[in-house]
Structure formats: C-alpha cells, structure tokens
Chain A
Amino acid sequence: MDFLAPFIEVYTLDHFKFLLEGFWVTLKVAAISIVLSFIIGGIVGTLRYAKIPVVSHILAIIVETIRNLPLLLIIFFTYFALPEIGIEMEITTAAIAALTVFESAMLSEIIRSGLNSIEKGQIEAGRSSGLNYIQTLRYIVMPQALRRMVPPIVSQFISLLKDTSLAVVIALPDLLHNGQIIYAQKGSYVIPVFVLVAFMYFIVNYALSLVARRLELRQS
C-alpha cells in the first residue's frame, strides 16, 4: 500500500481547493483571451476575406508569421522583451496579451475559411437585391458563416485552455502552476499531482470536445 500513500497525502480538501483556484485562473484567462481573439480575429479575417489591396497582404504576412511561431516564444517575448521597448505588463495581462495575439491569428483563419465557404451566388444575390457590399456581408454572408464557424471555434477554445498552461513560464498562477507548488513539497507527490491535474484538464476539455462534435453532427 506504500504506492497509495502519496495519493492519500496529496488528495486533501485544501490541495483540491488550491488546484481549483488555479483552474479558475486558467478558465478566466482563456475566456478573456478567446473573446478578445474573436473580435480581433473577426476583423482580420473579414478584411482578408474582402481582399482589400495592400491591407489584406500585410495582414496575411502578419497572420502567417504569428501562426508559424511557437506560442512559448510569444509569451516569453511579451513578458521579457517588450519591457525593453517600454511596454511593461503584469503577469496576467502579459499572458492574456500573448494568448490573444496567437489565437487571433488562428481564429482569423477559421473566420476567413468560414466566410469563404459561403457560395459566391449568395453575394451576387444580395448585391442584386439592392444591398451594398457591407450590408451583404453583414446580413447575408456573416449569419450563415457564423453557424459553420461555431464547431472549429469551440475546438480552438480547447486548444486555448491547453495553451494557457504555457503561461507557467512567466508564473501565471494557473492550474499547472498551482500543481507545481504542491509537488514541490515532496518528490513522491509528482505522480499524484499530475494525475489529478491532467484529469481536471481532461474533464473540461473532453466535455467541450463533445459539444463541438455534437454541433458538427447537427450541421452535416
């Protein structure tokens, strides 16, 4: 029963509460980041979809650059390098900023391909019934595209929840960080803590992935 002893020591109400506090930070940071990313990604994706000369090209270069960089690098850069040019943020803000930059690039692609998936005939029909281009986008294309975007956006939110764990490198007090504090007490705590932490991430992400799958099924 020696094998079980560390599990019993770790799985106390206090530790559990402490981990839940961390998880709350994870959820909060992820939720704020996804809302901001949706707004920024929405604007970027729409501008790229509309193929506005120069603007679309510049945005394409920015989006491709960000998407091809490791998120860890973006987090490091935001927290450690930006102060060098006078932009200083506290940990939570830096984590949200870095995640938002990265996820905006990801979401802009989801939004752009969602818009692209709407048949061109819809735009032609909108235009010929007297709507201008903006109105056609707003009333005809967007509502249809948004429905198709929901499942990939939920999947992206799962990625974001997982990616938030990378902010432990700048000491964001999230679930993984609080787990680290617990297992730092004793070597034998490592496995029980990781089992619990992984399980907590799993429950929430798995539930979300079931939601995404159901939404996808309903659409097809």
Chain B
Amino acid sequence: MLDFSILTNNMDSYIEGFKITIYASLIALLCSFLLGTLIAVMRIAPFKPLNWLGTAYVEFIRNIPVLVIVFFTYLAGNFGGMTAGTIGLTVYTAAFIAEAIRAGIMSVPKGQMEAARSSGLSYGQAMRLIILPQAIKIVIPPLGNQFINLVKNSSLLAVVAGGDLMYQGDLINAKTFSPFDTYIIVGLFYLILTIPLSFGVGFLEKRLARSN
C-alpha cells in the first residue's frame, strides 16, 4: 500500500510545488489568452501581411514540441527556471488559444460586422464591442481544455528547475529513494487540479451543445 509518511514528511515541499504549478499555469493562461487574442485578430484583420504573420506564428509554434520552446527560453534568455518555463508555456499555448478564438470569431455571422461598421463603429470597436463578446461563449470550453493542458505541461518546469510540483517530486525522490510512492503522490496532486477542470469543461461543452 501507499506509504503516506512520504506525504506527511514532505508536505511543505509538495504544497510549495503545488502552489507554483497553479501559479505558473494561471499566469501562462492569462498571458497566452492575451497573446492568443492578438494573434487571432491578426489572422482575420483586413491586412494581408498581418494575416501572414499570425498564420506563420500559429503554424510554426503548433508544430514544434513545447519542451523545445521551454529549453530555448531557458537557455537563450537570461531568466530563472520558473520565468523561462512560464514564458515558454505562454508562447506555446498562445498558438492553440489563437486558433480557438479564431474559430469563435468566425462563428459569429458576417452580418454582425457589417451592421456594426455601418452604424459608424471602427473595425477595432466593432471587434471589441460586437464580435468578441459573442465569440467568447464558443471559446470558453476549448479555453478550459487548454488550461488543463497547461496544468499538465507546467510539469516541464521541472526540467529547467522551475520549482513546480514535478520538480519537488524529483527532489523528494532524491531524498527518500522511494520513487514509486513519491510520484504517485505527485500524480494525485495533479489529479486534484485536472479532474475537476475536466468535469467542468465537459459540463460546459454539454450546455453549449444544448443551447445551440
């Protein structure tokens, strides 16, 4: 059976890692939401070079491993592990969020933009006040999924000494020499975060499917 003395003896480290995992995931979610929105708007803006730039970003980033990005920000930039990891996660996740937001914007009927423009709003105003608020409903479930991925991917902070849950697990393992129990407890901590999120996203998806 699981040896819970590993948990009780190392509670502080686990909690410390758990906090950093949540913290890094939340910051990366917020930043990649902002960056992703910007890129999504670039991809549909009525100006070709911006479209190309947005598309290039999404296609390039989506097709390379997140670990390559995390290592790169860590080694090429002058950051600590946690900052580098969070930047890397942001850069990666923004590409996926941009796609989700673009799909949301495209789902708003074209007439909405035309109506907004002909009532005197500028393109930016129409986007911000008319299109984005309607798109957000469709975007929320995929955003939730990206957040779950972020929590899981934040474990990559461990390879750049980011101090997260996975990293603490490695340290505890190095101390206790019982990897089996140590990593199972690490897994349980991740599940505390991801299982409720998964249920929440599933619930939102069902509700959205019904309202359509």
Closest residue of B by beta carbon distance from A191: B76
Q: For B60, B62, B63, B198, which residue has the most chain A Cβ atoms within 10 angstroms?
A: B63
Cα–Cα, bound, A69→B59 (Å) = 26
Closest Cβ of chain A: how far from B147's Cβ, in Å? 12
For B60, list chain A residues within 8 Å (CB): 198, 202
Closest Cβ of chain B: how far from A203's Cβ, in Å? 8
Secondary structure class of chain A's binding surface, majority of residues: helix
Cβ-defined contact, B195 with A68, below 8 A? yes
Cβ-defined contact, A198 with B64, below 8 A? yes
Cβ-defined contact, A69 with B159, below 8 A? no
Cβ-defined contact, B194 with A68, below 8 A? yes
For B195, list chain A residues within 8 Å (CB): 64, 68
Cβ-defined contact, A84 with B64, below 8 A? no
Cβ-defined contact, A69 with B71, below 8 A? no
For A85, list chain B residues within 8 Å (CB): 180
Tell me if A215 is interfacial: C-beta within 8 Å of chain B. Answer: no
Q: Which of A178-201 contact B (CB under 8 A)?
A: 180, 183, 190-191, 194, 197-198, 201
Closest Cβ of chain B: how far from A192's Cβ, in Å? 11
Tell me if A92 is interfacial: C-beta within 8 Å of chain B. Answer: no
Cα–Cα, bound, A121→B46 (Å) = 46
Interface residues on B, range: 35 or more
Cα–Cα, bound, A197→B67 (Å) = 12
Tell me if B155 is interfacial: C-beta within 8 Å of chain A. Answer: yes
A71-106 Cβ-contact flags toward B at 8 Å (1 or 0): 111001100111011000000000000000000000
For A73, list chain B residues within 8 Å (CB): 155, 166, 169, 183, 186-187, 190
For A180, list chain B residues within 8 Å (CB): 71
Given the interface pairs A70-B153, A72-B158, A194-B71, the reply to whether A165 lies near B65 with Cβ below 8 Å is: yes
Given the interface pairs A73-B186, A206-B59, the reply to whether A165 lies near B67 with Cβ below 8 Å is: yes
Cβ-defined contact, B179 with A72, below 8 A? no
Cα–Cα, bound, A64→B66 (Å) = 23
Tell me if A57 is interfacial: C-beta within 8 Å of chain B. Answer: no
Q: Which of B156-200 contact A (CB under 8 A)?
A: 156, 158-159, 166, 169-170, 173, 178-180, 182-184, 186-187, 190-191, 194-195, 198
Tell me if B68 is interfacial: C-beta within 8 Å of chain A. Answer: yes
Closest 4 CB pairs of A and B: A205-B63, A70-B155, A68-B194, A165-B65
List 11 extra interface pairs beyond A70-B152, A206-B59, CB under 8 A: A68-B152, A68-B191, A69-B194, A73-B187, A81-B183, A158-B63, A162-B65, A165-B68, A197-B68, A205-B62, A205-B64
- Listed in ascending order, the chain A residues whose CB lies under 8 Å from chain B are 64-65, 67-73, 76-77, 80-82, 84-85, 158, 162-166, 168-169, 176, 180, 183, 190-191, 194, 197-198, 201-202, 205-206, 209
